[in-house]
Amino acid sequence: MTLEKLRKNIDKLDDEILTLLNKRMEYVHQVGELKGKDGGAIYRPEREQAIMERLTKLSQSHNGLLQRKHIEAIFYEIIGISKSLERDEKVAYLGPIGTFTHQAAQSRFGSIKDYNPYPSILSVFKAVSSDSATYGVVPIENSTDGVVGETLDLLGEYNLNIVAEIYMPIHHSFATKVANIGQVRKIYSKDKAFGQCREFLENHGLMHLEHISVESTAKAAQLAAKDSKAAAICLHIAAKMNKLPILYDNIEDRHDNKTRFIVVSKSLNLKGKNDKTSILARLSNTQGSLVRFLQEFDEAGINLTKIESRPAQSSKAFSYWFYIDFDGHIEDENIKQLLARHEDIKFLGSYTKADDEI
C-alpha cells in the first residue's frame, strides 16, 4: 500500500472518530443536564477507573497496540473535555504553570480545564474551601524525599476530602530550538534539576557550558524558547506550552523517582471496586495505645498501606496525630464499625486506589 493510500485511510478513520466523539459529547450533555437537576458530582474517579480497566481489557482481547498508559492518555483527555461540557469547574493547583503539579492535574482533568496556579499549598486549600475552585491538586509524598508535612497538617485543619490520588514519575526533558546539541551554549534549569540530570550532562559533554539557575523548570523553558543558542532542562508540559522542541526525554539519573499527588474537594466519592481510605487518628499517650489500635485493623481484616506521625497542634508537648492509609471504603461494614469505636479520628476521604504506588 502506498503512503498516499495509507494517509487517506487514516483521514477516513479520523473522520469516523470525530463523528463518534461528537455523538459521545451529545450523550455527555444529556448526562450533565440530569446531574444539574439532582446536584450530582461531575468528577467520578471510580467511574473513570472502571472505564480505563474496561478499555484496557478490550484492547488486550483484540491484541491491540494500545496499552493502559496509551488508553489513559487518550481517554482522560476525552473525559476532561466531557466534564467541561457538563459543568464549568475550576481546578486549583500548586504553581507555577508548567510544574509537576500542573502536569499531574492535567493528567486527570484534561488540558482544556480552567486551571488556576497558586503560590502555596495553603492557598490551594483556601481556594477550594472558599469555593474559588472546585478541586485542588497538591503533592503529598515523594519516593525520595518522603511526605509533604504541610499537606498532612492542612488535611487535619480543613474540612476537605481526598477524592483522588495520582502517582507521577519525575521525568525531565532536554528541550531546545537548536537542531544539534553541539550548538547549545547555555542551559537553563532549576538547581535541583541540574543535580538530578548530572549523568546526562556529563555523557553529552555539557558540563562545561554555562548553567543558569532559575526559580523553576517552567521558567527555564520560557527563557530557552527566546534564546536560539540555549536549552532547558524542564518538564514535558513546560516545553509543550512554550513550543520548545524536545531533543531528549527522560534524562534524569534516577528513573524510579515518583511523587504522589492528591485531589481535594468538598464532595465525597461513591464506593468503587478498589478503594483506599485515609484518616487522621489521635491516640491517648499511654503504653501500647498505638499497637492496640493497629491490631484492630488486623483483626478486622483491613490492610494498612501507610502510617505517618505528625505533631498535633495542641498545648501538650510531644502530642501526635497519625496519618493512616488503608484498603477499603468508609462504607465497608468492617471499616465503619472499627472507626465508630474511636472518637478522635478525622476521616479524610475514600477514593479509587491508583494502580501505581510509591
Q: Is 261 a catalytic residue?
A: yes
164: nearest Cα among 248, 47, 67: 47
Helix (H, G, I), strand (E, B), or coil: what is residue 302? coil
User: CA 113, 117, 121 angle in degrees (round to 5)?
Assistant: 120
Within the chain, which residues score under 70 in pLDDT? Answer: 35-42, 86-87, 112, 313-319, 356-358
Catalytic residue among 217, 259, 277, 352: 259
153: nearest Cα among 304, 308, 333, 5: 308
Tell me the per-residue pLDDT of 66-108, one tens digit each, with 9 for 90 and over: 998 899 888 888 887 777 776 678 899 998 888 889 989 988 8
Assigned CATH for 1-86: 1.20.59.10
d(CA 222, CA 15): 35
Tell me the per-residue pLDDT of 113-129, one tens digit each, with 9 for 90 and over: 788 999 999 999 999 99
Catalytic residue among 100, 109, 194, 261: 261
Decide if domain 173-248 falls under CATH 3.40.190.10: yes
What is the location of CATH 3.40.190.10 in the chain?
173-248
Give the per-residue pLDDT at 39: 60
CATH superfamily, region 266-352: ACT domain (3.30.70.260)
pTM of this prediction? 0.76
SS3 content of the chain, % helix, strand, coil (to 5): 40, 25, 35
Strands 246-248 and 275-282, bridge-based pairing: unpaired
What is the location of CATH 1.20.59.10 in the chain?
1-86
